[in-house]
Homo-oligomer: A and B are copies of this chain.
Amino acid sequence: MPDERPLRADAARNRAKILEAANRQIIARGPEVPMEAIAEDAGVAVGTLYRHFPTKDALVAAVLYAHFEEMTLGAEAAADRIDAGGSALDEFTALFRFILENAAGNQAVKAAARSLGAPMDEDLLRGRGVRALERIIAAGISQGDLRADMTIDDCHLFFATAPIDQPAAVRERWFTLMMDGSRAPAARPAQ
């Protein structure tokens, strides 16, 4: 592995513009958005996309990776705040609201993940991500707010089922049902 020699300044700038454009376009039009569209959005020629990413899938994967990373960071921050004395239920709720509204970002990103067989899901979630989530869940259970049988797998459900392409009211309702279903029966608000 010959150590990567640094990118030329303009190349680095373009790479960033491409990633931003790809994210924007994928969110707006789904992962099937044409490379041309991404190129135009980035103010660059198609060829340039291929200079930075060997294939379209690679570009989409890079965008996905950024999203997963953002989620992981959010989870770790939440776990840390719990250790510092915060409410596990509050952090759990806030984290998944954050994921719902921002990180998973939209149906498109989910679709992209699916269309790639989401291999990186494994990587990141099996790494720092899961560890942080496990800390949060364990705290929530021991604090008596989360149902005792909740596991890391339930978190997959949030990713897998969030109706991100639906109107805000629908998303909100889903969030409510899901959260109520996640609580310990005793901790459930009287509707």
Number of identical protomers: 2
Q: How long is the Cα–Cα vector from A157 to B179 in the complex, in angstroms?
A: 14
Nearest CB in chain B: distance from A86 CB, A = 24
Q: Identify which of B154, B163, B173, B184 contacts A177 (C-beta below 8 A).
A: B154
**A182 contacts across to B, CB distance below 8 A:** 177, 181
> A16 interface residue, CB < 8 Å from B?
no
B-contact bits for A143-162, CB 8 A (1 contact / 0 none): 00001110001101100111
Tally of contact residues, A, Cβ under 8 A: 31
The answer on a CB contact under 8 Å between B170 and A153 is yes
Minimum CB distance partner of A162 in chain B:
B161
Nearest CB in chain B: distance from A164 CB, A = 10
